[in-house]
């Protein structure tokens, strides 16, 4: 279940790292070059508007033309509606909703239409769109610009949800999302846009629905995704100093999540801790905890643990924001409690 | 402003009536079947509003796109969707347009351009924009039509859609059937402008206010909008004035409706008026028109029995069509 795509051709990798932002730009450019039905739309996405507020789509309109890469008005319902309609007619739009909080403005289009048109039409129509959106606390943007809302979408049948943690996955998941015949919500984690990660092979794909075992271990399984993978890795290093061996799983896809990989790991370690940046109540961790508990009841050495943000909006003031975001120390403490407190 | 330069020839007028006859008979049959307890469905009668889809559809081809709403079965049928498939769908049967998984509020029939039927007020418009965008990119000359009611002109998606369509000059037609009621609430209590078509000006778009119960005027409005779209000159908002003869949803006794206003509109029922005029002007004979009506009834006899005698989808359909096969 480890990332064989990366492991297969290590010789082709170059030493120069690549940021998540560059990887996303490369994925869009490569896909558009291969398939002229791929369109990009969203606020500020074309080059006269600087290729988006963070530059993910920079260069695309210059290269592929302003018919295929269009900046839109600030109209989230219109953006997703246009993407849906064009997809019904055979195009593959990649629509950007600048921030995840703004998806709320377009929820009708996403939840009632994009996710359901295949089912309600009895399979006659489908909506092969990608909805790109970014989020993540750490920039003092306050309560309306940094929420992780992936559980809302994962709770809706008919839409897939992916969240990469590094450049290779950002590229590979984006290519798979564009290829997918159904709507995919593609969540980008703003705080790690500019983080350099190892380079990947051109054309590399990461299948939707497959998790990656980032590190093997024997005492506890930590399941995480997005930038929290960095914190979980930090936690694993701390725990190693205490002689605790962590198996670390990067979920990569939230819906449908890779139960097989997670259950196999927890069956081996007997302990599971789910870590995400979203608030804990009703979150992705709740679903994973429920399934792990149900499937592995009797084999668990401890209750499934969860680490996430406390149940409050993202605060503005820096010390409060820092306290809101889960970090390596909190994750290590929670893991330690599970290992020490409940070991047989 | 409407130029009124488009006049339907005799054959087109007769064809519009033929479609109206089918739509009227279909609505009456639907209410009869529900009343008799043969079907338990949410049903939104469009009786009284038949001119608008008849006049619009004769200006469209099977390749043109339609996004309609829950009170839009007349749009779906006028666009050419086979009656048997429609009835099987509203009866939830496996041989319906959507295998019984859409129902009366979610009819889809792409081979006739029926791409979306939505149960959410106002949501036909953003998607029609996307279909029109695809037509613009492909240069295939198709137009997209979004139908909706007056209540939909107050949701955000209406304003976002008109703005985007105008700024992108999309070949889309926003066709509002203003029947004066948004669910149970009168137009004047929810909408501060006398005419919805006036809102077109705010988006730099052509706006047409038309009597949607006048077949000739409605034809001219539809024709003008379709020609504008096909010529690459951008979108049109048509406000077609009409009236629904029944409550919001079947079973609603419409006690909130002003009785005098309703009586006035029902007395001016466009169906018998158009029928009488076609005969008076010698455009069609009584026999021809009666033949359309008899044919509609016969088609409905067949469609209803076909639908009610058909199989329900197997339970394996419960979880199919959620996702397709990944590439």
What is the rounded CA–CA span in Å between residue A97 and residue A115?
Answer: 16
- pLDDT of A230 > 80? The answer is yes
pLDDT digits (tens, 9 = 90+) for B145-164: 999 999 999 999 999 999 99
Distances (CA, A) of A227 to A20, A160, A195, A232, B47: 11, 19, 10, 9, 57
The pLDDT of residue A343 is: 45
Residue B170, burial from CB neighbour count under 10 angstroms (0-12, 13-18, 19+): buried
Rounded Cα distance, A231 and A224, in Å: 9
Length of chain A: 344
Measured CA to CA, the distance from residue B234 to residue B138 in angstroms comes to 15
pLDDT score of A3: 42
| pLDDT given at position A14 | 53
Q: What is the pLDDT of residue A202?
A: 86
Tell me the chain A residues in contact with residue B134 when contact means C-beta distances shorter than 8 Å: 85-86, 88-91
CA-based nearest distance B323→chain A, Å: 6
Which residues of A are catalytic, by number?
Answer: 76, 145
Residue contact B130–A83, C-beta within 8 A: yes
The CB-side HSE value for A199 (13 A sphere, CA atoms) comes to 12
- The pLDDT value recorded for residue B5 is 72
What dihedral angle (degrees, nearest 10) is formed by the CA atoms of A271, A321, A50, A189?
Answer: 0
CB contact under 8 A, A181 and B161: no
pLDDT in the model for residue A322: 96
Of B98, B119, B94, give the one whose Cα is nearest residue B313: B94
Q: How far apart are CA B146 and CA A81, in angstroms?
A: 12
> What pLDDT does A5 receive?
39
CA atoms within a 13 Å half-sphere pointing along the CA-CB vector of A87:
34
Q: How far is B289 from chain A, CA to nearest CA, in Å?
A: 35
Best to test chain B binding among A49, A83, A89 (most B CBs inside 10 Å): A89
Q: What is the DSSP letter of B155?
A: S
pLDDT of residue A9: 42
Cβ within 8 Å, pair A181-B326: yes
Contact B93, B307 (CB under 8 A): yes
Taking alpha carbons only, the member of B300, B290, B184 closest to residue B244 is: B184
Residues of A in contact with B67 (CB under 8 A): 85
Band of residue A10 on the pLDDT scale cut at 50, 70, 90: very low
pTM: 0.95
Residue A1 confidence (pLDDT): 35
A156-172 confidence digits (pLDDT tens): 999 999 999 999 999 99
Show which of residues 140-179 on chain B sit within 8 Å of chain A, judged by CB atoms.
144, 156-157, 160-161, 163-164, 167-168
pLDDT of residue A2: 39
Mean predicted confidence (pLDDT) in A237-245: 97
Contact predicate B46/B30, CB 8 Å: no
Within 13 Å, how many C-alpha atoms sit on residue B35's CB side? 9
Q: Is the dihedral of CA A216, A219, A221, A226 positive or negative?
A: negative
**CB–CB contact B321 A91 (8 Å):** no
* % of chain A at pLDDT higher than 70: 95
B298 Cβ partners below 8 Å, 6+ apart?
Answer: none
Can you spell out the DSSP letters for A214-226? EE--SSEEEEE-T
pLDDT at residue B4 in the model: 53
In B187-246, the residues whose Cβ lies within 8 Å of chain A are none
Strands A18-19 and B172-178: unpaired
pLDDT reading at A268 higher than 70:
yes
User: In which residue ranges of chain B is pLDDT below 70?
Assistant: 1-4, 326-327
């Amino acid at each position: 279940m480890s990332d064989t795509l990366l492991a297969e051709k290590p010789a082709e990798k170059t030493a120069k790292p690549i940021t998540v932002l560059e990887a996303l730009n490369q994925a869009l450019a490569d896909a558009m070059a291969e398939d002229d039905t791929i369109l990009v739309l969203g606020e500020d996405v074309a080059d006269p508007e600087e290729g988006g507020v963070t530059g993910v789509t920079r260069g695309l309109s210059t290269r592929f033309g302003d018919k295929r890469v269009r900046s839109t008005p600030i109209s989230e319902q219109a953006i997703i509606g246009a993407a849906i309609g064009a997809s019904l007619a055979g195009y593959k739009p990649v629509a950007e909703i600048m921030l995840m909080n703004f998806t709320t403005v377009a929820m009708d289009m996403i939840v009632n239409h994009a996710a359901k048109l295949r089912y309600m039409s009895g399979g006659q129509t489908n909506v092969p769109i990608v909805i790109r959106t970014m989020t993540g606390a750490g920039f003092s943007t306050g309560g309306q610009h940094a929420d992780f809302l992936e559980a809302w979408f994962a709770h809706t049948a008919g839409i897939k949800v992916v969240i990469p943690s590094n450049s290779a996955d950002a590229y590979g998941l984006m290519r798979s999302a564009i290829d997918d015949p159904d709507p995919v919500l593609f969540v980008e984690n703003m705080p790690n846009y500019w983080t350099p990660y190892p380079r990947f092979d051109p054309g590399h794909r990461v299948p939707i629905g497959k998790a990656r075992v980032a590190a093997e271990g024997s005492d506890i399984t930590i399941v995480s995704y997005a930038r929290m993978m960095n914190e979980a890795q930090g936690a694993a290093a701390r725990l190693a100093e205490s002689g605790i061996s962590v198996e670390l799983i990067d979920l990569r896809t939230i819906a449908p999540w890779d139960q097989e990989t997670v259950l196999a790991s927890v069956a081996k370690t007997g302990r599971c801790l789910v870590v995400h940046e979203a608030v804990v109540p009703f979150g992705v961790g709740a679903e994973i905890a429920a399934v792990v508990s149900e499937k592995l009841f009797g084999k668990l050495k401890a209750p499934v643990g969860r680490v996430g943000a406390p149940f409050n909006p993202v605060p503005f003031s820096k010390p409060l924001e820092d306290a809101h975001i889960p970090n390596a120390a909190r994750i290590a403490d929670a893991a330690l409690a599970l290992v020490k407190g409940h070991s047989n | 402003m409407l130029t009124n330069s488009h006049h339907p020839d005799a054959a087109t007028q007769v064809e519009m009536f033929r479609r109206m006859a089918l739509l009227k008979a279909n609505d009456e049959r639907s209410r009869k079947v529900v009343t008799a307890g043969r079907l338990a469905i949410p049903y939104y009668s469009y009786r009284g509003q038949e001119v608008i889809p008849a006049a619009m559809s004769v200006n469209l081809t099977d390749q043109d796109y339609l996004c309609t709403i829950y009170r839009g079965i007349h749009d779906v049928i006028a666009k050419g969707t086979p009656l048997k498939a429609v009835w099987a769908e509203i009866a939830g049967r496996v041989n319906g347009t959507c295998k019984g998984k859409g129902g009366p509020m979610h009819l889809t029939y792409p081979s006739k351009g029926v791409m979306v039927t939505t149960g959410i007020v106002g949501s036909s418009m953003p998607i029609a924009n996307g279909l029109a965008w695809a037509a613009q990119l492909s240069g295939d000359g198709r137009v997209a039509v979004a139908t909706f009611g007056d209540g939909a002109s107050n949701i955000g998606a209406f304003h976002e859609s008109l703005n985007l369509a105008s700024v992108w000059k999309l070949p889309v037609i926003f066709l509002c059937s203003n029947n004066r009621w948004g669910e149970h609430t009168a137009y004047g209590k929810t909408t501060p402008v006398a005419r919805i078509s006036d809102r077109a000006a705010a988006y730099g778009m052509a706006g047409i206010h038309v009597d949607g119960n006048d077949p000739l005027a409605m034809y001219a409005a539809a024709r003008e909008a379709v020609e504008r779209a096909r010529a690459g000159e951008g979108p049109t908002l048509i406000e077609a004035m009409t009236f629904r003869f029944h409550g919001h949803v079947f079973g609603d006794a419409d006690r909130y409706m002003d009785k005098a206003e309703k009586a006035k509109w029902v007395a001016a029922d466009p169906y018998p008026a158009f029928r009488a005029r076609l005969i008076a002007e010698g455009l069609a004979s009584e026999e021809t028109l009666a033949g359309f009506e008899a044919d509609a009834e016969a088609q409905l006899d067949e469609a209803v029995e076909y639908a009610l005698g058909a199989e329900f989808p197997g339970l394996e359909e419960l979880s199919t069509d959620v996702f397709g096969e990944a590439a």
